Amino acid sequence: MLPLLATLALALAMISRAPMQASALAAGEANNITSLMGTWSTGTAKVSTGIDFYNPVNTSFTIPATAGQSYSFTDDGYWEEALYIYTANPAKPSCVSASLFWQHGTWQLNGNNSLTLTPFNGDGRQLTEDRCSSTSTTSAYYYQPEYMLGFDITLDTHFGRPEYRLQLYAFDGALKPVMWQTYNPPQMLPTELLVETIYGTTS
């Protein structure tokens, strides 16, 4: 009788702990079917990280055919981001602005399945075009650390063929646009501080 009671007590203890372990995840699933390594892009992958989006030598962008987002990750802790975003003006529907953002740096997977993305300071760049502004095009440095509440990777069908699907969760748990793996190894610029490498200064 005593061994049976002990077994039941152990089983109940394991069941009671299971919800606590599941809730320890900030967001997403821990049992991803592949690593984050690779280049991930939304939609038709017109936006992708790498030299085809941003050229750090002359700090210029190549404007993609459509808006979209792309992230790249390496297994040794580096990441890169390329964003092309349209912003509507409700007061003037014809005044749509377009913004391009690029940055890269290091990333860390936290114990609760969340991600911390830390940019290299001085490398990031943004370009905004607004046809209704007195200054139609503005360019500036860009530095935006990111915290993803979680992520999960599944295998799904995209344009009729199986592809890895990445779902990122923003800092507040909101779903970011679904991305699909387009390159592995990732398509990225060098994983180092490029301002210092190219110009010899970080100022």
Model confidence at 28, pLDDT cuts 50, 70, 90, reads confident
Spatial CB neighbours of 84, under 8 Å, sequence gap ≥ 6: 47, 63, 64, 66, 67, 68, 69, 98, 99, 100
| Best CA proximity match to 136, nearest among 95, 102, 103 | 95
The structure's pTM equals 0.81
> What b/e string do you get for 36-66 counting C-beta neighbours within 10 Å, with b at 16 or more?
bebbbbbbebebbbbeebbebeebebeebee
Model confidence at 18, pLDDT cuts 50, 70, 90, reads very low
| pLDDT-wise least confident of 1-10, 22-31, 48-57, 64-73 | 1-10
Domain boundaries, the chain: 27-199
> What b/e string do you get for 172-187 counting C-beta neighbours within 10 Å, with b at 16 or more?
eeeebeebbbbbeebb
Amino acid at 131: R
Q: What is the pLDDT of residues 29-63, one digit of tens each?
A: 776 889 999 999 999 999 999 999 999 999 999 99
The arithmetic mean of pLDDT across residues 58-87, rounded, is: 96
